[in-house]
Structure 1
Amino acid sequence: MATIRDVAKEAGVSVATVSRVLNDNGYVGADTRKRVMETIKHLNYSPNEVARSLYKRESRLIGLLLPDITNPFFPQLARGVEDEVNRSGFRLLLGNSDEDATKELDYIQTFVQNQVVGIISATNNTDSDNYKELDLPVVFLDRTPKNYPSVFADGRDGGRIAAKALVERGATKITLIKGPAHVQPAQDRFQGALSELSQAAVDFSVLSTTSYAFEDAKKWAEELFAKYPDTDGVISSNDIVAIAILHEALRLGRNIPEDVQIIGFDDIPQSSLSYPSLSTIRQPAYEMGQEAAKLLIRMIKKEQEIEQTIQLPVTLVERNTTRKVDEK
């Protein structure tokens, strides 16, 4: 990998001259600047962003903290953040906390040590002192803290839409999956669906779960059909759990959607690839990431009248795990 000294040597200039070109700081003749830039391109030299930040005393780094990078929903968020950050001339540092408070703190400290100018966090510790002590802007993504700007989807409406869709499609014995208690979006979805089902002429049961992890999803699916074997409709806490329930229903010989209808939540890429393809509530993950990045950058630039909350709408994506609305 080429260094700044390699660039200086091949271009026939000093390291200081290369640094002035990179940082657009100080006078460099037009011919010399052109020669240095051509050498940088020829050697495929990539300056160290942290070093440049320290030199200029102006960082272009933003930290993004996710709770579980193995959940396909979060890479979609991250891509939206990254694309918007790059468009604005910033760069992204990524951390994966695994919902571990100690690991989360370690990443926050790493971000600070690397001179980030702001943090976007999608973790669940929204009230943690880790954030209160930071002297830089923070935006929460897919989370709804009381004291920080945030970008999130309308989970309550998503829950209502899912419940209404199953009722309209003839489900009469519905199981509502309650997501992890420590994840606020999961509780919003649950409360939305609960309010709709409570007013409908259907029987429904609640199955509480404690995680969204792949390794636990199969367990929730098996528990559902063991406890509620007559279930003919499922409102899942997310798409991962919904796909596990779909597989378990098929293993038990249930026809989808004739015997059991299933609605997920998120619309991860895998939901359209399952068989049958999964009906779900779509969260605009990529757009959420974009909006969080835009909001943080406005805060970094100290713009006036910055929104404290940005809520994006959700929509029902009808595929093949639900019947058409006029079918019974």
Structure 2
Amino acid sequence: MIKIKDVAIEAGVSVATVSRVLNNNGYVHEDTRKLVNDAIQQLNYKPNEVARSLYKKKSRLIGLLLPDIRNPFFPELARGVEDEMQEQGFRLMIGNADEMPAKESEYIETFIQNNVIGIISATSHGDRDHYNNLSLPIVFLDRVSNHHPSVYANGVEGGKIAAKVLLKRGSQTITVLRGPADLPTAQDRFRGAIDELSHSNAKVNVMSTTSFSFEEAQKWAHELFEEFPETDGVIASNDIVAAAVLHEAHRLGKSLPEDLQIIGFDDIPLSSLLFPPLSTIRQPAYDMGKEAAKLLIKLIQNEPVSQKNIQMPVTFIERQTTRKEE
């Protein structure tokens, strides 16, 4: 690994001079500055951001906490955050909390030890003390918090749209898979669907789920058809659960969308690759990530923020697990 001493030797100057150039601190003759910058470029030297931040008392590091990196939705969020941060000259440290509060706390400690100047969190524990006691800006992403700014999609509208589509396209016995009870965004989707279905003549079943994990989705799909075999329409809590329901429907010999209609939530890349391709409610994950990054940067730089809670629109993506509109 190239070190600052190697740059100094290549440029024929002292380590202190290279340090002054890197940190733009103190006088350096323009000819000398050019020698140092040429050496940096030639050696492809990458400064240690943590060390620089400690020296300058100013960091460019941002912490990003994700709840489950295996869920394809969250890398899309992360990519939006990363692209915006990189464009603005910031760098990310990413932690995967696995929906475990203890692991989440450990990552926050790691972020603080590495001198981050802000945190974006997509985890489910926004009102715990390990956030409320921090003195740096925090933005929640795909989550809402009572104490911190947030960027999230319109889950209530998404639930309503899903219910309207199933009703309009002929489902009469609809099962709604309710997401984790401690996750407000999941409950928004559920509430929107139930509000819409309550004004219809359809029979409505509700099945509670406790997470969005791959491991449990297949079990819930199996239980759904055992408990509610007459189901001809499913509103899933997310695309992973919808994929498990689709798989179980195939196993039971059901035809889609003739016998059963399914609508997911998120529009992860996998959705279009399923057979048949999954109709779903799209959250603009990448754009949400960029908006969260922009909001955090404004807070870090003490710029005026007109809107601290940003709600993004959702859209229905029609594929082949719903019938064509008549």
TM-score normalised by the chain length of structure 2: 0.98
For 2:229 and 2:205, locate their aligned partners in 1 and report how far apart those are by CA, in whole Å: 11
Partner of 2:59: 59
Task: Report the equivalent of 1:205.
Answer: 205
Query: Any idea what the Cα deviations from partners look like across 1:138-163, whole Å, max 9, x if unmatched?
Result: 11111111121111000011000000
CA distance in 2, matches of 1:14, 1:299: 38
The whole-number CA distance in structure 2 between the counterparts of 1:149 and 1:324 is: 40
C-alpha deviation, 1:306, in angstroms: 3.8
Which residue pairs with 2:25 in the alignment? Answer: 25
CA shift for structure 1 position 189: 0.5
Shift of 1:31: 2.0
Q: Contact conserved, 1:174 with 1:204, CA < 8 A, in 2? A: yes
Query: Quick one: distance in 1 between partners of 2:272 and 2:159?
Result: 20
Q: Structure 2: which amino acid aligns with 1:283?
A: Q
1:253 is aligned to 253
Structure 2 equivalent of residue 317 of structure 1: 317
Task: State the AA in 2 paired with 1:244.
Answer: A
Partners of 1:282 and 1:20 in 2: CA distance: 49
What secondary structure is seen at the aligned counterpart in 2 of 1:258?
coil
Alignment check: 8 A CA contact 1:178 1:206 kept:
yes
CA displacement 1:16-52 (0-9 Å, x = unmatched): 1111111122222222222211211221111100001
CA distance in 2, matches of 1:57, 1:73: 35
Tell me the amino acid that sits aligned with residue 174 of structure 1.
I
1:233-276 CA-to-partner distances (Å, cap 9, x unmatched) read 10000000001110110111111111101000000000011111
Q: Is the 8 A contact 2:132 2:147 kept in 1?
A: no
Shift, 1:320, TM fit = 0.6
For 2:16 and 2:276, the matched residues in 1 are separated by 62
- Separation in structure 2 between the aligned mates of residue 144 and residue 310 of structure 1, nearest angstrom: 10
One-letter code aligned to 1:6: D
Query: 2: CA distance between counterparts of 1:304 and 1:42?
Result: 41
Counterpart residue number, 2:226: 226
Q: In structure 1, how many angstroms separate the alpha carbons of the residues matched to 2:179 and 2:140?
A: 20
1:97 aligned onto 2:92: no
CA distance in 2, matches of 1:132, 1:246: 41
Name the counterpart of 1:288: 288
- For the residue of structure 1 that corresponds to 2:95, the secondary structure is strand
Alpha carbons 1:295, 1:306 under 8 Å: kept? no
Give the count of matched residue pairs: 326
SS in 2 for 1:92: strand
Name the counterpart of 1:126: 126
User: 1:30 is aligned with what amino acid?
Assistant: E
Q: State how far apart, in whole Å, the 2-side matches of 1:199 and 1:144 are.
A: 28
Asked whether the equivalents of residues 298 and 305 of structure 2 are also in contact (C-alpha less than 8 Å), the reply is no
Extract structure 1 runs of 4+ deviating beyond 3 A: none
Could you say which residue in structure 1 is the equivalent of 2:194? 194
Match of 2:163 in 1: 163
1:315 maps to a residue whose letter is T
**Unpaired stretches in structure 2, ≥5 consecutive residues:** none
Deviation at 1:304, TM superposition (A): 2.1
> CA 1:42–1:305 in 2, change beyond 3 Å: closer, same or farther?
closer
Q: Is the CA contact (8 Å cut-off) linking 2:258 and 2:323 kept in structure 1?
A: yes
Q: 1:7 Cα shift?
A: 0.9
Secondary structure of the equivalent of 1:259? Answer: coil
1:42-76 per-position Cα deviation (integer Å, ceiling 9, x unaligned): 21111100001011111111111111111111101
**Whole-Å separation in 2 of the counterparts to 1:305 and 1:206:** 40
Report the residue type matching 1:189 in the other structure. Answer: R
Deviation at 1:305, TM superposition (A): 3.9
Quote the residue 2:73 is aligned against.
Answer: 73
Distance in 2 (alpha carbons) for counterparts of 1:87 and 1:26: 27
**Distance in 2 (alpha carbons) for counterparts of 1:287 and 1:210:** 27
Letter in 2 for 1:97: A
What CA deviation, in whole Å up to 9, does each residue of 1:268-295 have, x standing for no partner?
Answer: 0000111110000000011111111111
| TM superposition score normalised by structure 1 | 0.98
> What per-residue deviation string (whole Å, max 9, x for no partner) do you get for residues 70-123 of structure 1?
111110110111111111111111111111111111111111111111111111
Question: What does residue 302 of structure 2 align with?
Answer: 302
Is the contact between residue 97 and residue 107 of structure 2 (CA under 8 Å) also seen in structure 1? yes
Matched with 1:236 is: 236
Q: Distance in 1 between matches of 2:38 and 2:225?
A: 66
Counterpart-to-counterpart distance in 2, 1:140 and 1:181 = 18
Asked whether the equivalents of residues 299 and 305 of structure 2 are also in contact (C-alpha less than 8 Å), the reply is: no
Q: Secondary structure at the match of 1:144?
A: coil
Instruction: Give the distance between the partners of 2:95 and 2:315, measured in 1 at CA.
Output: 29
d(CA) in 2 for partners of 1:180, 1:129: 21
Counterpart for residue 179 of structure 2? 179
State the AA in 2 paired with 1:265.
F
User: Identity across aligned pairs (percent)?
Assistant: 64
Corresponding residue for residue 88 of structure 2: 88
